[in-house]
Amino acid sequence: MSMFVDIAFPISSYNIFTYSVPQKFRSQIGIGSRVTAPLGKRRTTGIIVGFPQKPVFTGAIKNIESLVDPYPVLDKPLWELIIWMSDYYLTPIGQVAKTVLPSKLSTRYDPPALWMVRIVSKGDNANLGNLGKNAPTQAKVLDQLKNYKDFIQVSELRSFASSPLKVCQGLEEKGLVKLLKETRTPNINAFTFDPISKQIYFTKKQREVLHDLSLMLNPKKFSSHLLHGVTGSGKTEIYIEISRKVLACDRTVIILLPEILITPQIAGRFRAVFGDTVALWHSKLTQAVRSWTWKRICLGDFKVIIGARSAIFAPVKNLGLIVVDEEQESSYKQEYPAPKYHTREVALMRGKLHKAMVIMASATPSLESYYNQIKGKFTYLQLSHRYGGAKYPQVYVVDMKKDQEEAGKIGQVFSGLLLDKIEDRLNKSEQIILLQNRRGYSPIFRCNDCGEMEMCPRCNVTLTYHKVGNSLQCHFCGLKKKVVKLQCKHCSGHNLGLLGIGTQKVEDILIESFPGARLARLDFDTARSISSITKLLKKFSLGKIDILLGTQMIAKGLDFENITLVGIINADTGLYLPDFRAGERVFQLIYQASGRSGRHKKPGEVVIQTYDAENAVIKQATKLNLKKYYNMALSERRELNYPPFSWMSNLVFSGKKKIAVLHKADKVRSGLSGKYKGLDIIGPAPCYRERLRGKYRIQIVFKSAKSQDQNGLKLHHFLQQNFGSEINQQTHSGVITSLDINPVSIQ
Ligand code: ADP
Ligand code: ZN
Q: Which domains does the chain have, with CATH numbers?
A: 4-100 (3.40.1440.60), 113-183 (1.10.10), 189-389 (3.40.50.300), 394-439+501-635 (3.40.50.300), 443-499 (no CATH), 645-741 (3.30.70)
Does the CB atom of residue 237 touch ligand 1 within 6 A? Answer: yes
pLDDT (mean) for 25-46? 90
Q: Which residues contact residue 605 at a Cβ distance below 8 angstroms, ignoring those fewer than 6 apart?
A: 393, 394, 395, 396, 421, 564, 565, 566, 597, 598
> What angle is formed at CA 290 by the lines to CA 285 and CA 296, rounded to 5 degrees?
140
* Torsion on CA atoms 654, 657, 661, 666, rounded to nearest 10: 170
Does the CB atom of residue 387 touch ligand 1 within 6 A? Answer: yes
CA of 363 to the centre of ligand 1 (A): 13
Q: Ligand 1, closest atom to CA 230?
A: 3
Q: Ligand 1, closest atom to CA 233?
A: 3
| Contact in structure between 256 and 309 (CB atoms under 8 Å) | yes
Q: Ligand 1, closest atom to CA 206?
A: 23
Which of 696, 688, 735, 742 has the alpha carbon at shortest distance from 719? 742
> What angle is formed at CA 30 by the lines to CA 27 and CA 33, rounded to 5 degrees?
110
Cα 669 from Cα 588, distance rounded (Å): 36
Dihedral (CA of 716, 31, 305, 549) sign:
negative
Q: What b/e string do you get for 4-14 counting C-beta neighbours within 10 Å, with b at 16 or more?
A: bbbbbbbbbeb
pLDDT (mean) for 34-46? 90
pLDDT digits 0-9 by tens, 440-475: 888 888 888 888 888 888 777 788 888 888 888 888
CA of 440 to the centre of ligand 2 (A): 15
Name the maximum alpha-carbon separation found in the chain: 96
Q: Which ligand is nearest to the CA of 456?
A: 2
Interhelix angle 76-88/343-354, rounded to 10 degrees, is 140
Does the CB atom of residue 235 touch ligand 1 within 6 A? Answer: yes
Cα 591 from Cα 668, distance rounded (Å): 42
| Contact in structure between 425 and 564 (CB atoms under 8 Å) | yes
Q: Which residues contact residue 259 at a Cβ distance below 8 angstroms, ignoring those fewer than 6 apart?
A: 308, 326, 329, 331, 553, 556, 557
Protein residue with least CA distance to atom 15, ligand 1: 234
CA of 401 to the centre of ligand 2 (A): 32
Does the CB atom of residue 559 touch ligand 1 within 6 A? Answer: yes
- Per-residue pLDDT band for 189 (boundaries 50, 70, 90) equals low
Question: Radius of gyration over alpha carbons of the chain, in Å?
Answer: 29
CA of 610 to the centre of ligand 1 (A): 31
Q: Which residues contact residue 136 at a Cβ distance below 8 angstroms, ignoring those fewer than 6 apart?
A: none
* Selected residue with higher pLDDT from 189 and 316: 316
Q: Which ligand is nearest to the CA of 200?
A: 1
What confidence score (pLDDT) does residue 226 get?
97
pLDDT digits 0-9 by tens, 6-21: 999 888 788 889 999 9
Which range, 261-265, 337-341, 724-728, is most confident?
Answer: 337-341
- Per-residue pLDDT band for 156 (boundaries 50, 70, 90) equals confident
pLDDT digits 0-9 by tens, 492-546: 888 888 888 888 999 999 999 999 999 999 888 777 777 788 888 889 889 999 9
Does the CB atom of residue 232 touch ligand 1 within 6 A? Answer: yes
Interhelix angle 136-145/164-173, rounded to 10 degrees, is 90
Does the CB atom of residue 541 touch ligand 1 within 6 A? Answer: no
Tallying the residues shown for the chain, one arrives at 747
CA of 697 to the centre of ligand 2 (A): 14
Residue to mutate, 240, 324, 559, ligand 1, most ligand atoms under 8 Å from C-beta: 559
CA of 589 to the centre of ligand 1 (A): 21
Average pLDDT score, the chain: 88
Does the CB atom of residue 560 touch ligand 1 within 6 A? Answer: no
CA of 532 to the centre of ligand 1 (A): 25
- Per-residue pLDDT band for 82 (boundaries 50, 70, 90) equals very high
pLDDT digits 0-9 by tens, 654-701: 999 999 999 999 988 887 865 778 888 888 988 888 888 889 999 999
Estimate to the nearest angstrom the gap between the alpha carbon of 181 and the chain centroid.
Answer: 37
Q: Which residues contact residue 59 at a Cβ distance below 8 angstroms, ignoring those fewer than 6 apart?
A: none
Tell me the C-alpha to C-alpha distance, in Å, between residue 559 and each of 160, 236, 342, 537, 538: 50, 11, 27, 10, 12
Q: Ligand 1, closest atom to CA 269?
A: 16
